[in-house]
Amino acid sequence: MKPATKSLLKIKSRLADPKEQLRILSDNHSLGITSFEDRLHDLGIEPLKPTGVDIFQVNVGKMCNQVCKHCHVDAGPGRKEIMTRETMQLCVDALKGTDISTVDLTGGAPEMNPNFRWFVEQLSKQGRKIIVRCNLTIIVAHPKYYDLPEFFRSHNINVVSSLPYFNAKRTDAQRGEGVFEQSIRALRRLNEVGYGKEGSGLQLDLVYNPSGAFLPDDQKALEATFKSKLKEGYDIDFNELFAITNLPVSRFLEYLIRSENYQDYMEELANAFNPEAAHGVMCRSTLSVSWDGYLYDCDFNQMLELKLNGGTPDHIRDFDLEKLNNRNIIINQHCYGCTAGAGSSCGGTIA
Amino acid sequence: MAKSYYDPADLKKFGNITEWQKELGDKFFDYYGTVFQEGALTAREKSLIALAVSHAVQCPYCIDAYTDDCLKKGVDEEQMMEAVHVTAAIKGGAALVHGVQMMNKVSDKLM
Ligand code: SF4
Ligand code: SF4
């Protein structure tokens, strides 16, 4: 596989620094758009408050076997930030005694963390629903990962996998040469053990995100197209398709600026602001933990290093659900990505 | 004064046409919106037809808008280009079929 690009860190881009990204995102005036904060204010939901924590999302590290062009994590093989077993233990301890239903594991490629399986086993013992955001190619990347489908099955993990398109050209342009072919092989392996097959109870969902500076359209229509194309062309089954909007963070922000699409894209997001989606943004019911144990409102705020709003204990060792539920969620113009059109979250559209 | 006949920024101002004739403008946009809704044809099929027609009427605004719309609806490059070939075939065919008229005329005139 040939990587699609290089990490911003590696090419020493000024945008590798979250502060620089925030400087750009904060300036809604130059874009001629109303600030996200004002939009929420008009709806009477500013400051934005959590409704609780249903999903505990853990980013177990930035290491990845791929280097996708749109990646908001700036992940890649060269990234060494990896969650230790001690920090995972702190997560397990924090979850004890809470009724948080779901733990969502992401990265990077979460499976590359040497303690990934141990962590899943601990969470599984607690009876949590576990989601793994699997990039597919990791399953066929190295013999030590070949049994991942069986491992996922043994813990009834909900596998959520990225596949931006149903052909090689557009998939590879975004995710790297050969990614489509390897993803198809991985999907076949998942199907073989029962994932995505009717009656198996093993959930395999795909994530579609646009391969460029445009917004996703109707999720159900895209799902129908993906289902027929993947079935006809490759005999692959899956359950649901989540259409996710690319947020202007990290590599996707850099791409937008470099390709001179930033202005138009931000205008399009802001014009498509949907109040219903704003009420349902995922940060209201999600908590995001970084590889080093810090707490954030969502994975995007994590990458922008926007630690929890002042005063709320912001490290997993000081986990305090009551205080967390009282925090103010930190917002900026990137949030328009969550509220455009039908809205966008890690579970697809909102409204 | 405008230095060119077409400005991409004007596409976003399309809605402003209602300012000088609200009733007709509103009726048009209402109709337009309904046309593109899912019906006996899917929204995706309609978007591809619109792309083909945009090329037939050679409207840069429409080409811009419906290229975007096709991308959003998951249409791939090959399908988009095939739609433009449909335009070319019909436009080319429309020109050539008039060749029959020319042939008729010639046979009327020649001994
Ligand atoms: S988008 Fe996912 S698979 Fe691609 S580089 Fe980022 S973390 Fe890895
Ligand atoms: S980017 Fe994060 S904080 Fe902003 S609306 Fe989306 S989920 Fe919430």
Give the CA angle between residues A45, A51, A52 to the nearest 5°: 150
Q: Shortest CA distance to A167 belongs to which of B77, B49, B84?
A: B77
pTM reported for the whole predicted model: 0.92
Is residue B90 less than 8 Å (CB to CB) from chain A?
no
How many domains, in total, are found in chain B?
1
Assigned domain for B83 exists: yes
Assigned domain for B5 exists: no
- What average pLDDT does the structure give for chain B? 95
The ipTM is: 0.76
Query: Looking at beta carbons, which residues of chain B come within 8 Å of A170?
Result: 76
Confidence band, pLDDT 50/70/90 cuts, at residue A311: confident
Assigned domain for A349 exists: no
Q: Output the pLDDT for position A1.
A: 78
Assigned domain for A350 exists: no
Look up tokens 């399908």; give the residue. Answer: B79
- Angle at which helix A262-271 crosses helix A250-258, to 10 degrees, equals 120
Assigned domain for B79 exists: yes
Q: How many CA atoms lie within 13 A of A30 on its CB side?
A: 8
Which ligand has the minimum distance to the alpha carbon of residue A340?
Answer: 2
| Pick from A165, A170, A217: CB nearest B73 | A217
- What average pLDDT does the structure give for chain A? 96
Confidence band, pLDDT 50/70/90 cuts, at residue B99: very high
Q: Output the pLDDT for position B49.
A: 98
Which ligand has the minimum distance to the alpha carbon of residue A60?
Answer: 1
Is residue B42 less than 8 Å (CB to CB) from chain A?
yes
Assigned domain for B9 exists: no
Q: What is the pLDDT of residues A316-326, one digit of tens each?
A: 999 999 999 99
CATH at B34: 1.20.1290.10
Chain A residue with the nearest C-alpha to that of B73? A217
Residue ranges of A 211-230 with Cβ closer than 8 A to chain B:
212, 214-218, 221-222, 225-226
Is residue A235 less than 8 Å (CB to CB) from chain B?
no
Strands (E), A34-88: 55-59
Assigned domain for B4 exists: no
Q: Which residues line ligand 2 (CB under 6 A)?
A: A 281-283, 297-298, 300-301, 329, 331, 334-335, 338
Assigned domain for A97 exists: yes
Q: Shortest CA distance to A316 belongs to which of A287, A298, A285, A289?
A: A289
H or E element: which one contains A132?
A: strand A129-134
| Pick from A214, A218, A267: CB nearest B71 | A214
Q: Which residues contact A200 (CB under 8 A, 6 or more apart)?
A: A194
- Which carries the bigger pLDDT value, residue A53 or residue A2? A53
Q: State the average pLDDT over residues B71-94.
A: 96
Assigned domain for B33 exists: yes
| Pick from A169, A214, A225: CB nearest B68 | A214
The amino acid at A296: Y
Tokens for A70, please give them: 């749109």
Q: What is the pLDDT of residues A138-177, one digit of tens each?
A: 999 999 999 999 999 999 999 999 999 999 999 999 999 9
Q: Taking 80 as the threshold, does the pLDDT of residue B54 lie above it?
A: yes
Q: State the average pLDDT over residues A53-64.
A: 98
Q: How many CA atoms lie within 13 A of A62 on its CB side?
A: 19
CATH at A172: 3.20.20
Assigned domain for B10 exists: no
Q: State the average pLDDT over residues B62-66.
A: 96
Query: Looking at beta carbons, which residues of chain A come within 8 Å of B66?
Result: none
Q: What is d(CA A146, CA A166) in angstroms, rounded to the nearest whole number? A: 23
How many domains, in total, are found in chain A?
1
Query: Looking at beta carbons, which residues of chain A come within 8 Å of B12?
Result: 267
Is residue B77 less than 8 Å (CB to CB) from chain A?
yes
Tokens for A58, please give them: 């853990």
Q: What is the pLDDT of residues A234-279, one digit of tens each?
A: 999 999 999 999 999 999 999 999 999 999 999 999 999 999 999 9
In whole angstroms, how far apart are CA A124 and each of A95, A153, A156, A214, B102?
A: 12, 12, 9, 38, 80
Say if CB A241 and CB A263 are below 8 A apart: no
Q: Closest residue (by CA) to atom 7 of ligand 2? A: A283
